[in-house]
Structure 1
């Protein structure tokens, strides 16, 4: 029956595993060695040979040492094989048990000895068999080719088993080294992606901060000409403020050059950095690309700092791009919640969760806070989920992304309106949960 065959296939590997555990146990060698000794003595009884006899002594000497074969293989093999050869040369009856013990000992030596020593062992065994056939009639009932074949097969099987195990260990070591290399490479690529994303964020923030500092410099420079009756000290103070602001702009540009993670020239963006008042335009663009999106605003909408609004805009932009690429045609809901101390952003699509294949050139797609599907990064110079996390943690906020309870995929971020003095950066998600 099909069911029975399936059961047998399921049970057989379990018994094989159990047998491997038994053969590795400490008691396996003593038990089998004693069992061979008892079997050899019992085999002498039908031959009218007393256990306490020359034949019995040879039988015990050829089998009993196998009790200690794991601890002292070479001395045990010398005693067992010597006893077997002496038994044959003195004309003692051939026992199946002692023959098996001799062949097993040759197999064990084939597994233990190096390749050159195994060849010497095979040659010595063939010479011994030849001497027995030429000097005695003990093995006349056994064709000599069968004996030679059995001896060579036992030694060859042991050597082949050693070669297979050595190849397996080599393959496992190579696989481990490959995994370690890939892990280090992935970590390096992820670090590079983080640095590129931080440089991109820094360039955006540079535009925001540079505008404010430029306004400070302009107002400080024009103040002496628009205000009457300024004291010399006040005029000197405004001049110093303007000078400091200009120096700050120069230093900011230098810092931006240090943060750049690549040396490729980029086209300057002369457009102002987007704020939340441009979010309806982004929604219209998504709808124009065939997407369905619903924007909901809760709380008391108000003007926030440029950095917070820019981060919120970019998070929504990246999330909508992800939805278009991985859940085309799915309905997307964008929620902005204005709270007294923070701005909450949530973007959820109702598309079925699917796993996207990440190109080898882009290691930065991650799964965050849960067994989320991996999403390929958008073609906007950003880095998808990694970029969203960087924007949220830069402000001391929180970020999570993963399958939504209602189905689909959800991105959530909370952006504090006022960052703490010493914010704790969110720990990186553990492997497998990025």
Structure 2
């Protein structure tokens, strides 16, 4: 900064130092990436051999429990074998992840370094033994104190070479592994500085001592840079994998929330649709109450004034209830965004027409079987049974076109059992449209399995849907004649989206 307070920026020497710093880091990273490419290419070339060895070690591929839509058995990939892994492989993974892995391997390096001195007759308690121990023993604590441990080990290795000690395989391996560990944990700029310092140290050893005269200096420098670069490349890969895993976890959480919201919205729309349909049924009954109450004073003789006043009050209350129901229906229609339905609500006597429509719409052969003694049911029960059959037939046309369908109605002592089974493929169908995640649509505003579940639960009944044991897809519902006070958790849950039809 000048006297007038202006900043002149970095000097020419500072710019050269910054460029050299960045260039060293890029060189190390480029060398590590090049090594990764070479290793990856070798791995791809040896993949057929690896697959054969994997088949011998893990066993041949076994059929996957699932089956495809075409009925063919799926085979699990090599990475997802169902056979148990060999005990030694699992034990090695557990050993590598344990806290005592570093101490044991560090002690093993110390023993190997001292063992290299035996053929030359050098005792362990000597200068060479001291340098060998100092170059390897600190690696026992490499996981807890990497930088101090690396400083001690590399300094001892360099000091041993400068003092004229012979080059030994164990100490060289320990030094290269230490450089790799530093490159794996240090940031890119620090790895570049480490590379520059390592090259300078190698140059000093070549000039001041003859310990490395038997090794060409380019090979020594390339080995050191390769160790640092490979560690840096490994760090970048692990960081990318962690970032990708975190992003995938966030996406999964978002999709889970979105699916839950969409499913809740589908349930609310289906409940609104059911309520609009039930309005017509209840409104008709309330209208009959009002009409009967209004006409009673004219059809019944010798009514007291109190009775006449009671009938008038009943008629007035019924009319007010109709007005409130129409207001409620207006709110439901506004929320659902659909117009009024002028057609009368269907009952069970229209099931033959529904089955004929199914055949005419491209469905396969459909049969209706009635068991038990038919009886007069409430309009709500008959409407729910009709809609369940309608939804099931629509799903059969959509997911199993041309399949035969059998519709069964069983009049039991206290409930109506509805069963619809098609003979199509029983494998789950992949749902691509989020609006169909609840199982398709069986009619205007319907949502398949969710709608059937809601109708059965509304009556206190039970509902289930899924692949049939005889093949195809089965929809079953039990609708009590008198509503059971059961909670929603007692009803059979709707299958998850992976099993929707």
TM-score, normalised on structure 2?
Answer: 0.77
Contact (CA 8 Å) 1:333, 1:348: kept in 2 or not?
A: yes
The Cα of 1:320 is off from its aligned counterpart by: 1.8
Contact (CA 8 Å) 1:193, 1:363: kept in 2 or not?
A: no
The Cα of 1:248 is off from its aligned counterpart by: 1.2
- Matching of residue 286 in structure 1 with residue 286 in structure 2: no
How far apart are the structure 2 equivalents of 1:433 and 1:40? 61
- Matching of residue 236 in structure 1 with residue 309 in structure 2: yes
TM-score, normalised on structure 1?
Answer: 0.89
Q: 1:206 aligns with which of 279, 282, 292?
A: 279
Aligned to 2:406, the other structure's residue is in SS state: strand
Alignment match, 2:429: 356
Contact (CA 8 Å) 2:456, 2:478: kept in 1 or not?
A: yes
Q: 1:125 aligns with which of 186, 191, 198?
A: 198
CA-to-partner distance for each residue in 1:289-339, whole Å, 9 max, x for gaps? 353122222221121111011111111122222222233333222221112
Contact (CA 8 Å) 2:269, 2:336: kept in 1 or not?
A: no
Alignment match, 1:383: 447
For the aligned residue pairs, the C-alpha RMSD in angstroms reads 2.6
Aligned to 2:123, the other structure's residue is in SS state: coil
Q: 2:54 aligns with which of 9, 18, 28?
A: 9
Which aligned pairs between 1:331-350 and structure 2 lie closer than 5 A? 331-350=404-423
CA-to-partner distance for each residue in 1:138-160, whole Å, 9 max, x for gaps? 32332222222111111111111
RCO higher in 1 or 2 (8 Å CA, sep ≥ 6)?
Answer: 2
Q: 2:234 aligns with which of 161, 169, 185?
A: 161
- With over 3 angstroms needed to count, the CA separation of the structure-2 counterparts of 1:243 and 1:168, relative to structure 1, is same
The Cα of 1:350 is off from its aligned counterpart by: 2.4
Contact (CA 8 Å) 1:110, 1:159: kept in 2 or not?
A: yes
Deviates more, 1:353-362 or 1:315-324: 353-362
The Cα of 1:284 is off from its aligned counterpart by: 2.4
- With over 3 angstroms needed to count, the CA separation of the structure-2 counterparts of 1:379 and 1:357, relative to structure 1, is farther
Aligned to 2:435, the other structure's residue is in SS state: coil
Which aligned pairs between 1:2-401 and structure 2 lie closer than 5 A? 7-10=52-55, 11=57, 19-260=92-333, 262-266=335-339, 268-290=340-362, 291-366=364-439, 376-401=440-465
The Cα of 1:8 is off from its aligned counterpart by: 1.5
The Cα of 1:392 is off from its aligned counterpart by: 0.8
Q: 2:487 aligns with which of 424, 427, 433?
A: 424
The Cα of 1:259 is off from its aligned counterpart by: 4.0
Aligned to 1:116, the other structure's residue is in SS state: helix
Aligned to 1:335, the other structure's residue is in SS state: strand
Contact (CA 8 Å) 1:186, 1:363: kept in 2 or not?
A: no
- With over 3 angstroms needed to count, the CA separation of the structure-2 counterparts of 1:361 and 1:120, relative to structure 1, is same
- With over 3 angstroms needed to count, the CA separation of the structure-2 counterparts of 1:21 and 1:423, relative to structure 1, is closer
Structure 2 residue ranges without an equivalent (≥5): 1-47, 59-78, 80-84
CA-to-partner distance for each residue in 1:129-184, whole Å, 9 max, x for gaps? 22222323332332222222111111111111111111111111111111111111
Contact (CA 8 Å) 1:199, 1:261: kept in 2 or not?
A: no
The aligned length equals: 421
The Cα of 1:249 is off from its aligned counterpart by: 1.6
- With over 3 angstroms needed to count, the CA separation of the structure-2 counterparts of 1:364 and 1:39, relative to structure 1, is closer
Contact (CA 8 Å) 1:297, 1:336: kept in 2 or not?
A: yes
CA-to-partner distance for each residue in 1:216-275, whole Å, 9 max, x for gaps? 122223333444443332232222212211221222233334445845242x32221111
Alignment match, 1:404: 468
Contact (CA 8 Å) 1:295, 1:333: kept in 2 or not?
A: yes
Deviates more, 1:213-222 or 1:376-385: 376-385
Contact (CA 8 Å) 1:190, 1:363: kept in 2 or not?
A: no
